[in-house]
């Protein structure tokens, strides 16, 4: 079998090496032989190679968090290999009538989108969800799943040479509104200069900030459309979270699942106090690892069988959306394991298409 294995010391992708090893013909009890069809390179995979991801398998280790056509339920089982034996309790089957590209990527990005749209707020058709990083893989999944549920989405992207094409793609996927951060700041806070003034003013009096904020914001046409978001999804951090939090309705929830800007989240004092907005965090790997969601056999614990059904329902729902053409896979560059260095260089750069190993 061929596999991509991390070196002893985490660092860059240069520690990854392609190896060929013999696979034993002896199958141990409660083990299953899996031949992997495809496995993507996610940011979490890169972080794991670098040694900065919270879930760290013992080194040396085979890389890869997810793959097709079963879902590894434990982080670190290794999917960047042609085949291997796995504990049966660490796997869950998914439908085999969907494209390999879609099934290979269910565990991380679509599942993150699904859980955030399901677990934090009781959303009803017509409710508004706002998110930043909307043109990310998770962001696109949020747009499509929300659209299928009859939810409205306001999608915030960064201004760049590709902003127009990104907005068109999101609209095609079902986005209701797409705006750049600059457009949102202009509409919500009139000008960036006035935003800075108001934020500094907040340090002296939260009450006056909230009063001025509401008076100014009510003159914004866009604000009138988006001031009642029930849920905000943040993967950027920094000033971008000011925009999200300012659009939340009373009791709204902002869920942070990433920090691409590497800056701490910022929250306007007025909405935090007077709208009682809530701040939550989400990590899909942590969700899988929770005791109530862990895979166990019916003999071990009957109550946890229900949680497996909850997990299976998620994968069934995602599969159904794929079949119906309502959840499209990202645009992939398909690579053989032998081309791993090119794939890692592109994945680490953050430019180009998402990389998918095809075994």
> 234 and 170, same structural domain?
yes
In this predicted structure, the answer to whether residue 26 has a pLDDT above a threshold of 90 is no
- What is the structure's pLDDT at 299? 34
Beta strands in 236-290 (DSSP E): 237-238, 248-256, 263-265, 278-281
Write out the residue range of the structural domain in which residue 175 sits.
121-281
Residue 185's pLDDT band, with cuts at 50, 70 and 90, is confident
Place of tokens 């009096």: 205
What is the share, in percent, of the chain residues with pLDDT greater than 70? 81
> 14 and 154, same structural domain?
no
In this predicted structure, the answer to whether residue 109 has a pLDDT above a threshold of 90 is yes
DSSP 185-223: HHHHHSSHHHHHHHHHHHTT-HHHHHHHHHHHHTT-HHH
> 218 and 136, same structural domain?
yes
**Domain count across the chain:** 2
> 268 and 179, same structural domain?
yes
Cis-peptide, bond into residue 69, ω within 30° of zero: yes
**290 Cβ contact list (under 8 Å, min separation 6):** none
> 35 and 142, same structural domain?
no
Distance CA 80, CA 357 (A): 7
Q: Per the structure block, which two tokens stand in for 265?
A: 């989240």
* Set 53, 213, 223, 257: catalytic member: 53
Rounded to an integer, the average pLDDT of 289-299 is 53
> 39 and 140, same structural domain?
no
Q: What is the CATH number of the domain that holds 27?
A: 3.90.180.10
Distance CA 242, CA 189 (A): 10
| In-domain check, residue 68 | yes
For strands 83-87 and 31-35, give the pairing: antiparallel
In this predicted structure, the answer to whether residue 258 has a pLDDT above a threshold of 70 is yes
In this predicted structure, the answer to whether residue 101 has a pLDDT above a threshold of 60 is yes
- What is the structure's pLDDT at 77? 78
Global pTM reads 0.84
| In-domain check, residue 116 | no
DSSP 76-133: TS--SBSEEEEEGGGEEE--SSS-HHHHTTSTTHHHHHHHHHHHSS---TT-EEEEES
| In-domain check, residue 145 | yes
| In-domain check, residue 50 | yes
| In-domain check, residue 53 | yes
For 23, other C-beta atoms within 10 Å of its C-beta total: 12
In this predicted structure, the answer to whether residue 305 has a pLDDT above a threshold of 50 is no
> 242 and 305, same structural domain?
no
- What is the structure's pLDDT at 219? 45
> 138 and 88, same structural domain?
no
In this predicted structure, the answer to whether residue 289 has a pLDDT above a threshold of 90 is no
> 51 and 136, same structural domain?
no
Distance CA 310, CA 305 (A): 9
- What is the structure's pLDDT at 325? 96
53 is catalytic: yes
> 249 and 177, same structural domain?
yes
Rounded to an integer, the average pLDDT of 321-336 is 94
């Amino acid at each position: 079998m061929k596999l991509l294995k991390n070196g002893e010391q985490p660092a860059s992708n240069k520690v990854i090496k392609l190896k060929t090893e013999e696979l034993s013909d002896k199958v141990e009890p409660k083990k299953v032989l899996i031949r992997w069809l495809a496995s993507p390179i996610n940011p979490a995979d890169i972080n794991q190679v670098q040694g900065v991801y919270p879930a760290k398998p013992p080194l040396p280790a085979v890389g890869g968090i997810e793959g097709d056509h079963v879902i590894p339920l434990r982080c670190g089982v290794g999917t960047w290999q042609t085949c291997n034996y796995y504990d049966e309790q660490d796997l869950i089957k998914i439908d085999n009538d969907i494209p390999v590209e879609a099934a290979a990527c269910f565990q991380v990005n679509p599942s993150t989108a699904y859980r955030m749209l399901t677990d934090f707020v009781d959303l009803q058709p017509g409710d508004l969800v706002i998110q930043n990083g909307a043109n990310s893989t998770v962001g696109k999944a949020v747009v499509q799943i929300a659209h299928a549920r009859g939810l409205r989405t306001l999608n915030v992207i960064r201004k760049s040479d590709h902003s127009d094409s990104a907005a068109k793609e999101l609209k095609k996927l079902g986005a209701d509104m797409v705006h750049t951060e600059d457009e949102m700041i202009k509409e919500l806070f009139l000008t960036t200069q006035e935003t800075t003034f108001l934020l500094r003013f907040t340090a002296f009096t939260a009450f006056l900030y909230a009063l001025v904020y509401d008076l100014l914001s009510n003159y914004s046409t866009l604000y009138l459309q988006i001031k009642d978001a029930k849920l905000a999804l943040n993967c950027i951090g920094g000033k971008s979270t000011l925009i999200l939090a300012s659009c939340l309705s009373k009791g709204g929830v902002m869920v942070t699942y990433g920090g691409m800007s590497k800056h701490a989240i910022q929250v306007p004092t007025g909405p935090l106090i007077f709208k009682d907005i809530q701040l939550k965090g989400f990590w899909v790997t942590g969700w899988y690892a929770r005791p109530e969601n862990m895979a166990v056999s019916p003999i071990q614990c009957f109550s946890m069988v229900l949680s497996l059904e909850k997990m299976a329902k998620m994968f069934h729902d995602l599969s159904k959306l794929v079949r119906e053409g309502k959840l499209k896979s990202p645009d992939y560059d398909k690579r053989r394991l032998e081309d791993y260095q090119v794939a890692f260089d592109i994945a680490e750069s953050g430019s180009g298409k998402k990389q998918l190993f095809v075994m």
